[in-house]
Amino acid sequence: IQESDTARLQHLLEDFHESDLGDLLEALDPDFRPRLIELLGSAFDFTALTEVDEAIREEILEGLNPSTLAEGVRELDSDDAVTILESLGEEDKAEVLDQLPPMERIALQRSLDYPEESAGRRMQTELIAVPPFWTVGQTIDFMRDTADLPETFYEIFVIDPAGHLLGAVALDRLLRSKRPVTIQEIMDDEPDRVEATQNQEEVARLFERYNLVSAAVVDEANRLVGVMMVDDIVDVLEEEADADIKQLGGVKSDEELSDTVLYIQRSRFPWLFANMCTAFLSAGVIRFFEGSLERMVALAILMPIVASMGGNAGTQTMTVAVRALATRELGRTNAWRIIRREAAVGILNGLVFAVILGAVAALWFQSSQIGIVIGLALITVLIFAALGGILVPLTLNRLGVDPAVSSGPFVTSITDIVGFFAFLGIATLWFSL
């Protein structure tokens, strides 16, 4: 790159798949990234930019001049073009759009008008639609004669003159039918369809549930506006799982490996801050029993065990509940059954661990009374942990708050407070401290 040896670079990167090219961009020194793209010129496949982390994409786009960008975006499928345009500032976006031919500009503009994370943003507008009275032969000839077909497609759509979706024909169905058969005869008249304004996560669940490969995207009047492809759905599902995992771990869902130290520090701050506040609440509970602790230091030694057992049991239940809510496995119909089940598991594990923990504590402090007190406290906290772990996500979900983001601090503050209160309270009563 330093020598600007365009020919050699083009030759070297000729056979690179867009994902590999994306990796190469990520591995390069930031200054070289836009440089490489300008050098490659039309040999650079802009799809590669959709494969890099968002922070890197934004940075690269800033370094490119708008004409190179407009040239590159023109070559892209509409869904990839939208991804790139989304990463641009308002001004740059307008500038790039201005340099595109009117047809493409209008199509992209329309996609960008749909809400973020909707099917309309992710859909591809390149598709094949034919009228129902065409024959299989006509359709095949049309496809052979048209140069500007979508890059890949798995079904063709059937529409009426006003653009309303009538049906769809899978390619294998088309291939297996004789030439004189009309499209109407072989089309599936209840094709899989999604609304352009539907959330991408909902659409992904549909694909997953019904094993779809592509689905028509229609507007509110059932007019065909695009097609959703499974490769985009795979990305949506991955992003969503990623977001759930990160949020449960107390990290912002958009944190990426390429982010700066400052960005990450800010991404992790809110969770730690929430945790600090709840920790002070539990410390307040402990302070309430200051006198007991002064008289019996063994309580201070053992109390973190009770709280941490509760925290872990609560997290277990919460994890299962949050994930089941995300995959729509947990809903109104089975919520009550799962609550009872979790409570039963809590009681059972409470009893088992009360015996183990009680015995070990009794031996360690040479006092069977300590064992009984910690055992009773543990049963209490594990029951509260089970109930908190399931009821907190369910309630947040009912209130329209994403349970993956905010369940954690609630559940751990419940288990901490109950843990310290139960153990120190029972001990104070038992030993009359």
Sites for its own copies among residues 109-168 (CB under 8 A): 140, 143-144, 149, 152-154
Q: Under rule CB under 8 A, which residues in 7-26 are in contact with its own copies?
A: 17, 19
Residues 58-75 as b or e (16 or more Cβ within 10 Å = b) = ebbbeebebebbbbbbee
39 versus 343: smaller Cβ distance to its own copies: 343
Residues 6+ apart with CB under 8 A from 423: 299, 302, 303, 306, 307, 373, 374, 377, 381
Least separation in angstroms between CB 423 and its own copies: 12
* Residue choice 356, 363, 401, 429 for contact with its own copies (CB under 8 A): 356
Residues 47 and 113: their CA atoms lie apart, in Å, by 22
- Of the ranges 33-41, 220-228, 289-297, 392-400, which one interacts with its own copies (CB under 8 A)? 289-297
Q: Under rule CB under 8 A, which residues in 28-47 are in contact with its own copies?
A: none
* Residue choice 308, 339, 402, 406 for contact with its own copies (CB under 8 A): 308
Least separation in angstroms between CB 301 and its own copies: 5
* Residue choice 84, 100, 216, 293 for contact with its own copies (CB under 8 A): 293
Q: Nearest to residue 301, comparing CAs of 370, 349, 382?
A: 370
* Residue choice 12, 43, 106, 283 for contact with its own copies (CB under 8 A): 283
Q: Give φ, ψ of 47 to 5 degrees.
A: -55, -30
Least separation in angstroms between CB 280 and its own copies: 7
Residues 61 and 73: their CA atoms lie apart, in Å, by 12
Residues 1 and 129: their CA atoms lie apart, in Å, by 44
Least separation in angstroms between CB 109 and its own copies: 25
Tokens of 135: 């024959």
Q: Under rule CB under 8 A, which residues in 320-339 are in contact with its own copies?
A: 320, 323-324, 327, 329-330, 333-334, 338
* Residue choice 221, 297, 336, 399 for contact with its own copies (CB under 8 A): 297
* Residue choice 12, 115, 294, 398 for contact with its own copies (CB under 8 A): 294
Least separation in angstroms between CB 172 and its own copies: 6
8 versus 287: smaller Cβ distance to its own copies: 287
The 258-277 contact track toward its own copies, x by CB under 8 A, reads: ---xx-xx--xx-xxx-xx-
Least separation in angstroms between CB 148 and its own copies: 12
Q: Under rule CB under 8 A, which residues in 362-401 are in contact with its own copies?
A: none
Residues 132 and 419: their CA atoms lie apart, in Å, by 68
- Of the ranges 87-95, 119-127, 251-259, 391-399, which one interacts with its own copies (CB under 8 A)? 251-259
95 versus 254: smaller Cβ distance to its own copies: 254
* Residue choice 81, 88, 228, 313 for contact with its own copies (CB under 8 A): 313
Least separation in angstroms between CB 250 and its own copies: 5
Q: Under rule CB under 8 A, which residues in 220-239 are in contact with its own copies?
A: 230-231, 233-235, 237-238
Q: Under rule CB under 8 A, which residues in 165-194 are in contact with its own copies?
A: 170-172, 174-178
94 versus 276: smaller Cβ distance to its own copies: 276
* Residue choice 246, 387, 396, 428 for contact with its own copies (CB under 8 A): 246
Least separation in angstroms between CB 98 and its own copies: 30
Least separation in angstroms between CB 127 and its own copies: 12
34 versus 310: smaller Cβ distance to its own copies: 310
C-alpha torsion angle, residues 148, 151, 156, 161 (rounded to 10) = -40
Q: Under rule CB under 8 A, which residues in 60-99 are in contact with its own copies?
A: none
* Residue choice 112, 129, 186, 345 for contact with its own copies (CB under 8 A): 345
Least separation in angstroms between CB 51 and its own copies: 8
